[in-house]
Structure 1
Amino acid sequence: MSCSAERKNILSKTYHNTTARYNAYFYAKENIREIEKIINDSYDNDYNNILDIYPEIDSVLAKTYEDKVEECIKKASIAIQRHKNSKWVDDSYILIGLARFYDTDYVNAIETFKYVNTKSEDPDARHRGLVHLLRTFTDYTEYNNATSVSDYLKKEKLNKSNQKLLYINRAHYYQVQEDYDNMVQNLVKAAPLLKKKDGKGRIYFIIGQVYQMLGFDAEAFNYYKRCIASNPEYELDFHARLYMAQVTELGKSSDLKSARKLFKRLLKDKKNKEFKDKIYYEMASFEMRQNNLNDAIKYLKESVKASTNNNRQKGQSYLKLGEIHYDSLRKYELAKAYYDSTITVLPKDYQNYEQIKERQGVLADFVKQLNTIHLQDSLLALSEKDSISIRKQIDEYIAAEAEKKKQEEEKERKRIRRNTFNQLQDNTGFSSTSWYFDNPSAIAMGQTEFKRVWGDRALEDNWRRYNKESEQDFEEVKNNTNLPTDKEDVEVGEENPETVLTAQAEKMYSQIPFSSEAKKRALTQIEEAYYNLGNIYYFKLHEEQNASSSFETLLQRFPDTENEPEVLYYLYLINKNLGRDTEKYKRRLLSQYPNTTYAKLLANPNYTEESTAANEQLKKAYKNAYELYLNKQYQEAIGILNQAMNNYQETVFTPRLKLLKILITGKTEDINLYQYQLTELIKEHPDSDITPYVKELLAASENFLKKQRRLLGTEFVKYFNQEHYLVVVYDAGKGLTDQIYPLIEAYNDANFQEKKLKTSNLILNENQSITMVSSFEDKQSAVSYFQKFVSEDVISEKTQNSKIYKFVITKDNFNIFYQSKDLEAYIRFFDKNYKNEL
């Protein structure tokens, strides 16, 4: 009873403090240490970037130690429940919070640390709970709460242990925020409080990295030196020495020589054999700072060769090669190849992996356009030559490629032999003067290399041949009368080289565009490639000079390109930014393409903002008009549409309003007028997103009339008790529409204003156009109008210098006439059925 957890006497407290600390609490703490060891061991240190203060924890990793989390919570709970009068209750709650934190159960971890802060009477325990809460909020991305905790702790007096942990956790918060100034300040404050068990060598190294990144080389040097003095593990020691060479003061040429000697010593040190790729990488970085790009490229290639098991380092070396060729040398094809290799080997968790992959995609597209232009231009040039010259050039190309391949294979064989020999030297230590067959290791290595190249082969004659006949088989084959000729005597599985070359030549020959259609396709590919190339230069590579050259070439080679308005606008912007003359681009765009968005942007720099506001108003008007259209209130809908288009400037939404007006025309007017308006809308807005739909409507209407015409035949209908039109047909291409339309409009306004007649224009065919007056209620009113129209000679053939046909026609017959285009047939029908009434 004297040891009951309910009692507060000295005996009870001593018993429960001792039992809690050295039983349940002890084992729970051991579980936390094991969890932290698993997390640290799984962390892949990327020494090319600033090391993380804390390794990243994710749910996948957490599953590997979930049993230890459960055991920790169980043991700590025992300490809380059975020894609730001990001083280790608060510490046990903190262990439970840490277990939940490492299990990525951030919500419950936060609640646990908050509980310690509010319920504990021990200020050190409360402070420790808050310090862990700061880290939890940081990893849970609740940065405002993390800041609040940090600010609160600034006012509190912490013991050294909590103070040290607070500085480190604050530095972790600032590292996540990429605020490296505040990060390094907190780490420097933590440094004097660190002990070996805290991994102070690693913290010193991180401080050195941050100072090096910020440009404080002297401070970085000092902390790398302190890292080495802390006697860290060899990998950390090696990288600290490596980076010390990077930040050594270089005031004289002798300093450069000393730094290079240090790198070479590190290379020769056998302990650094597995770090050769990293040493070469740092040598390359050193030479880049001295602007020695050639040496940097050489060392990066050596780094790639030395990276046998370290894909992260190999990927970083490829990436650096890609950046040099991309940013400094502007050799995009090589840069593309290096970026391809980078993405192949670089781990996906690498920093900025997505941006690297995006640049790879840009370069892939860029090289694709260059290759398209080069290939199609070459093929077009070949198409102008005679067949003998073409075949000769193809043969020369194939021979050159074969020689190039042969040289590459020989170079690869030499590389393999050299690497094999170097590996033998490293593994066995035999010298170049040793005889090969005196060294068992060399023989074993040679056998391995032989099998790699040739496979398992028996020691016998003709061992190179994959298929061999026995002597008996040979005698049988020799007596066979169907022996192959010398040309056919090739090994099984191999193709005759001449056949291969011939097939290759034929394939290349078949790609040459000889026909006009093939040449047109090739030119289209080149046109698209130049357009894409200009866009890549301008928008993705940000090279305005090259973008300008590509766009200029596009306009010179393809003056009829449909992309001309857009290209002229880009050339205007590029040359304006480069301080060059822009007037020719502006004048050409405004005069030739005044209705395009690009011209409007030039004429009004605020066009985009204004059109956005106008768009909203047009959308509201469209919605109201469309509701009226659905309710068949066509005139009201037309009124709203006209008012909207008159009150607001044309925007990308305007074609929708025009289309709705045309749909109303289709419901209320003649189908030919409906088709004409659809055709005009397509011409006015070829790039609108609704243009494909407009084309579908036009095609459907045309198909409907074709079917109707087939049903009606070519005969005109002798049913006259319906609407009539006056039709005037005249030569197209002479500009007569601009003369005839106003004459008829003026005539109707002066003489028939009360009838509210409409005048409209249509294209009959390639040679003739129509101006039409609609509509007359019946045949009699149409004939009366026609008589007056002709007698007053409203349109004179003499003054217009053209053959002009004038007649009246019913609505049904006009549909037949417009589809058949048979003017002579209808004139005969008109003379027969109307002339007797004139």
Structure 2
Amino acid sequence: MKNFNTRNLKVILFSLCIGVLYSCGSQKDTAMSRGMQNLTARYNYIYNTKVMLNNHQLELAETYADNYDQVLPVYIAPEADNSQPNASLNIKSMDDIIKKAQLIILEKSYSNYIDDAYILLGKANFFNANYFNASEYFDYTASNYKSNLNSYTEALNWKARSLMQTRRISEASSTLDSLSPLLNQIKSKNQAEPLATMAQMSIYKNDITSAIAYLKDAIKATNQNQHKIRWTYILAQLYEKQKNDTEALANYRKVEKSNAPFEMYFNANLNRIKIKSAMSGIKTNKQDQLLALLKDDKNLEYNDQVYYQVAESYAADGDYRQAEKYYLLSIQKSTTNAYQKGRSYLSMADLNFKYFKNYLKAKSYYDSTVNTLPKNYPGYDLILKKNQNLEYLTDRYEAVTLQDTLQFIARLPEDNRMARIEAFVNPVVQMPATPTGTAFNYSQIAANPNSNNKAVSQSSFYFSNPAAVGIGFSDFRKKWGNRKLDNNWRQSIKSSAQETIQDIAANISGVPSNPDSTTVTADQGDLVKQYSTSLPLTPELVAKSNQKIIDAYYDIANFYLQELNDTEEAEQVYQKLLDRFPSNNHLAAIYYSLFLINKESNPARSADFKDKILKEFPSSAYAKTILDPSFSIKQSELETAANKRYNEIFQQYEKKAYPAVIEQVDESLKTSGSSYLSPQLSYLRAIAIGRTSTADSLITAFTSITVQFPEDKLVTPLVKDHLAFITQHLSEFKDRKIALPESDSNEFLVPAPIKNTSATLAKTQAPVNTPVTTQAPPPAVQVPVQTVKVPVDQKTTVPANPVKVNGPFSTVTSTVYYYVIHVADASLTLSSSRFGIGQFNRGNYTGSNLKHQLKEFDNDQLIYVGNFSNFEDAKTYAAGIDPQLKQIMKVPVNIYTSFIISKENFDKVAGKALLNMYLEFYKNNY
């Protein structure tokens, strides 16, 4: 009997094995085959891959660095722009999931888990940061498995997440719109993930109310404790953004009482203290509670955040010196948290820029900020742009400081002025004591590495080896200069007055500051003389000084508004300008900017400025724009017509039909009235008169231009040079029957060119105080190209910028640079525009030997001006000519751009493709 049972059991087992092998080895649409495929697919593949996926998600959550300064992401995913998104994780597990999912699709095609396999393929690609592939897999699943509601909704949810990771927000929003009506049809526990995705979408859209509603529902639906904790923390952050302190406090307390990770617990505690203190209204309470956290050893890793919050508290109370102290402590204690260190650097930069007016130190901190914060930090682009353009703002703030100082000294009794000027030129600075007494003199070791104690030199310890220290010091000095050995060595220890004294002197003298301290000492007498002669001692000089302050504030506000898109800072500067100078020459533009800034946020204030414009400046372009929004379009059409008319007259001038030129200019000025091209038309008329009449007629025509257009910066300076030249050679001109014979060029009206272009440019600066228009369409927005000066410490050698290369182009220093105007239309005639460039050069760079030439491609033209011996000279030229291009270029403004290029790079530009490549290279590196 026993043998019979054993024999039967063997037969049954053999049959089962044959059946399993048969089912696995072939794909037949039979009940047995489907059953076996479902069995093996579910337990051999689906179960294992889900375990691997869950483990990977847990590992990612443990290693992911949350930035608690911002609203946390609702779900964790690798960054799309990270080339190695999961470098510290087990990427092989994702590859294994992909292989197993592909095996299900290939070998278990009759099972019920094909949709699960495609979802697993999508998730594996998602966690490998291959979001495009992931969205395609999820889209395929959603399109082909609509009958399976769970798979369909899951695929839509993860498709939306994949699209959101690549910032395809509109597509993701459409996907979630399809998902939303289906939520009530699936189980409650399956609703949590889609609700979380919808909350993240609402956060992206800044719809805080909807995000809160979705998160609250997701917390109720989920059965995963870690999700509940994370979403509760985010809920508290959202309530805090809504200024709902009560709800925010309640949710932070929930996180504190939960089994949250320690970092989240610590930040919840930190935020709870901050909110509770704000609600209580007791200033010192918050700081004391925050500092008490330092006593707990568990918080040692987060001391930088504690110090930062204390500093923020002092800054909010207006105690900026205490704030500075704790920001520096935060920087010192921050060793692993790049976000926090970058935030502390940024706060120090803003503190020095806005409140201490120490612009060079602010520049140093902005440099540290952009080098510390990750590029995906919210607002990083704005910080980078502000850092790059800080010199523009710094120059204008220093101009304000200079004029205020000069006016203050001018109001002192005459006997006290010289002493105050000398004190300002040479301020007394208390040098901070080093922590350990006398600083160790590394330079002495570097100079004589074999000296000092022999026993010390024989040590293997780096700092006990003079030779090694000497080499290290030399390398350090090459990069950082002669820095004093103390805390915060990156920052200068000079006072604000010392740091800005050279730049202020440069503003007076018009030459760059000299970094050599001995030269500064030697020139102190000259500085005192410059200050004393620049004092505004008469009402006329005070008015000129005030105008410089007005123009500086106006430029600063416009820069904040147009370049940095910082409406809050712009409004503050505009208001400061109005408070100090209620009547100034920029009122209409200021009112219009404030009208636009407040249009959405404060309609009543916006309406006030609108009324001011309409009542006080009814004929201005701003009033016309308010009354007729299409005014700017009509104005553009008028400008196009004016350019066309000028080109027609210029063609007559080129044909030497001078009587026709005089007649047509007179007719144009009479019928069209005054326009921005009127000075140039009058100049053509004057030259035509000089070609056909006596010197007296030419002098009358030139004088009429200087009287009618005294503020013009293109033609009037040139005409004044012409008149000066004629006056010097008046007898010769009087003897002529025709003032400008046809055999001569009007070039002789200015002095002969000088070959040394660089030296001439240093003496003859182009006008740089050009007005920057407001956000209004009329007139067109023009922002001058910025000349960035590197602030140099008296005792610091600044290293040269590293050479950057992209394809055939590089930033290597050259001896020849060109200023280039690119016109994106080869069919246009540019002779009249080139004539305008010549006018600018002769009027503003007399004797500089600047030449402008034309280079043509199939579809583009380049006007290039040179030669400039260095990049700074080219930038100075650009700062002067760019604001005048609207008058100079007789082509539509939207088809030309300007840039600077070295001769080596210019020679490599051979067509539109390379030109576009260089323009992108120029934008990113200059």
Q: TM-score range by the shorter chain?
A: 0.5 to 0.7
SS at match of 1:181: helix
Partner of 2:177: 151
Conserved? CA contact 2:345–2:365, under 8 Å: yes
Residue 60 in structure 1 maps to residue 82 in structure 2: yes
Conserved? CA contact 2:78–2:128, under 8 Å: no
Following TM superposition, by how much is the alpha carbon of 1:270 offset from its aligned partner in structure 2, in angstroms?
Answer: 0.9
Looking at both structures, which has the greater relative contact order when contacts are Cα pairs under 8 Å and sequence separation is at least 6? 2
Following TM superposition, by how much is the alpha carbon of 1:235 offset from its aligned partner in structure 2, in angstroms?
Answer: 0.9
Following TM superposition, by how much is the alpha carbon of 1:225 offset from its aligned partner in structure 2, in angstroms?
Answer: 2.6
Conserved? CA contact 2:705–2:716, under 8 Å: no
Partner of 2:524: 508
Q: Give the whole-Å Cα distance in 1 for the aligned partners of 2:593 and 2:155.
A: 59
In terms of mean alpha carbon deviation, does 267-276 or 688-697 score higher?
Answer: 688-697
Q: Given the alignment, which residue of 23, 28, 35 partners 1:7?
A: 28
Q: Given the alignment, which residue of 121, 146, 152 partners 1:126?
A: 152
Partner of 1:530: 549
TM alignment of 1:221-232, pairs within 5 A = 221-232=249-260
Q: Give the whole-Å Cα distance in 2 for the aligned partners of 1:280 and 1:370.
A: 34
Partner of 2:394: 364
Q: Given the alignment, which residue of 104, 110, 118 partners 2:135?
A: 110
Following TM superposition, by how much is the alpha carbon of 1:127 offset from its aligned partner in structure 2, in angstroms?
Answer: 1.3
Partner of 1:280: 307
The residue identity in structure 2 corresponding to 1:652 is Y
Q: Give the whole-Å Cα distance in 1 for the aligned partners of 2:321 and 2:676.
A: 52
Following TM superposition, by how much is the alpha carbon of 1:55 offset from its aligned partner in structure 2, in angstroms?
Answer: 4.7
In terms of mean alpha carbon deviation, does 22-31 or 217-226 score higher?
Answer: 22-31
Partner of 1:266: 293
Q: Give the whole-Å Cα distance in 2 for the aligned partners of 1:258 and 1:709.
A: 87
Conserved? CA contact 2:304–2:331, under 8 Å: yes
Q: Given the alignment, which residue of 109, 114, 117 partners 1:84?
A: 109
C-alpha change, 1:658 and 1:154, in structure 2 (3 Å) is: same
Residue 200 in structure 1 maps to residue 195 in structure 2: no
Partner of 1:96: 121
Following TM superposition, by how much is the alpha carbon of 1:114 offset from its aligned partner in structure 2, in angstroms?
Answer: 1.8
Q: Give the whole-Å Cα distance in 1 for the aligned partners of 2:720 and 2:530.
A: 35
Conserved? CA contact 1:20–1:88, under 8 Å: yes
TM alignment of 1:157-556, pairs within 5 A = 157-196=185-224, 199-248=227-276, 262-285=289-312, 299-300=326-327, 302-320=329-347, 331-333=355-357, 337=361, 340-345=364-369, 346-347=372-373, 348-356=375-383, 361=390, 364-370=394-400, 372-373=402-403, 401=428, 404-405=430-431, 408=432, 410=433, 412-413=434-435, 458=453, 505-513=521-529, 530-535=549-554, 539=558, 540=560, 542-543=572-573, 546-547=576-577
Deviation per residue, 1:140-192 (Å, 9 max, x gap): 33333322222222221233454211111111112222222212221111112
Conserved? CA contact 1:50–1:206, under 8 Å: yes
Following TM superposition, by how much is the alpha carbon of 1:50 offset from its aligned partner in structure 2, in angstroms?
Answer: 1.6
Partner of 1:684: 708
The residue identity in structure 1 corresponding to 2:525 is Y
C-alpha change, 1:397 and 1:694, in structure 2 (3 Å) is: closer
Following TM superposition, by how much is the alpha carbon of 1:323 offset from its aligned partner in structure 2, in angstroms?
Answer: 5.6
Deviation per residue, 1:783-802 (Å, 9 max, x gap): xxxxxxxxxxxxxxxxxxxx
Question: Which protein shows a greater Rg?
Answer: 1
The residue identity in structure 2 corresponding to 1:646 is K
Partner of 1:619: 643
Q: Give the whole-Å Cα distance in 1 for the aligned partners of 2:531 and 2:327.
A: 49
The residue identity in structure 2 corresponding to 1:266 is L
C-alpha change, 1:258 and 1:506, in structure 2 (3 Å) is: closer
The residue identity in structure 1 corresponding to 2:268 is A
Q: TM-score scaled by structure 1?
A: 0.58
The residue identity in structure 2 corresponding to 1:146 is A
Following TM superposition, by how much is the alpha carbon of 1:658 offset from its aligned partner in structure 2, in angstroms?
Answer: 3.7
Q: Give the whole-Å Cα distance in 2 for the aligned partners of 1:601 and 1:221.
A: 48
Following TM superposition, by how much is the alpha carbon of 1:645 offset from its aligned partner in structure 2, in angstroms?
Answer: 3.4
C-alpha change, 1:124 and 1:55, in structure 2 (3 Å) is: closer
The residue identity in structure 2 corresponding to 1:135 is R
Deviation per residue, 1:495-525 (Å, 9 max, x gap): xxxxx999875342243337999999xx999
Q: Give the whole-Å Cα distance in 1 for the aligned partners of 2:663 and 2:28.
A: 92
Residue 140 in structure 1 maps to residue 155 in structure 2: no
Following TM superposition, by how much is the alpha carbon of 1:635 offset from its aligned partner in structure 2, in angstroms?
Answer: 6.9
Conserved? CA contact 1:171–1:184, under 8 Å: yes
The runs of 5 or more residues in structure 1 that have no matched partner are 418-448, 461-466, 468-499, 556-563, 581-585, 591-596, 718-838
Conserved? CA contact 2:695–2:736, under 8 Å: no
The residue identity in structure 1 corresponding to 2:670 is N
The runs of 5 or more residues in structure 2 that have no matched partner are 1-21, 446-450, 456-465, 467-515, 561-569, 596-604, 609-613, 739-926
The residue identity in structure 1 corresponding to 2:38 is N
Partner of 2:65: 44
SS at match of 1:333: coil
Q: Given the alignment, which residue of 678, 691, 716 partners 1:654?
A: 678
Q: Give the whole-Å Cα distance in 1 for the aligned partners of 2:693 and 2:171.
A: 68
Identical aligned pairs, as a percentage? 19
Conserved? CA contact 1:618–1:654, under 8 Å: no
TM alignment of 1:680-829, pairs within 5 A = 680-688=704-712, 690-691=714-715, 695=719
RMSD of aligned residue pairs (Cα, Å): 5.7
In terms of mean alpha carbon deviation, does 61-70 or 84-93 score higher?
Answer: 61-70
The residue identity in structure 2 corresponding to 1:7 is K
The residue identity in structure 1 corresponding to 2:80 is D
Q: Give the whole-Å Cα distance in 1 for the aligned partners of 2:668 and 2:676.
A: 14
C-alpha change, 1:354 and 1:642, in structure 2 (3 Å) is: same
C-alpha change, 1:631 and 1:374, in structure 2 (3 Å) is: closer
Q: Give the whole-Å Cα distance in 2 for the aligned partners of 1:17 and 1:310.
A: 49
Q: Give the whole-Å Cα distance in 2 for the aligned partners of 1:654 and 1:189.
A: 68
SS at match of 2:82: helix
Following TM superposition, by how much is the alpha carbon of 1:208 offset from its aligned partner in structure 2, in angstroms?
Answer: 1.0
In terms of mean alpha carbon deviation, does 601-610 or 183-192 score higher?
Answer: 601-610
The residue identity in structure 2 corresponding to 1:136 is S
C-alpha change, 1:208 and 1:647, in structure 2 (3 Å) is: same
Conserved? CA contact 1:675–1:701, under 8 Å: no
SS at match of 1:513: helix
Q: TM-score scaled by structure 2?
A: 0.53
Partner of 1:434: none
Deviation per residue, 1:316-339 (Å, 9 max, x gap): 34544666787xxx7341587457
Deviation per residue, 1:603-625 (Å, 9 max, x gap): 99979857555434433434555
The residue identity in structure 2 corresponding to 1:190 is A
| Equivalenced residues, count | 608
The residue identity in structure 2 corresponding to 1:245 is I
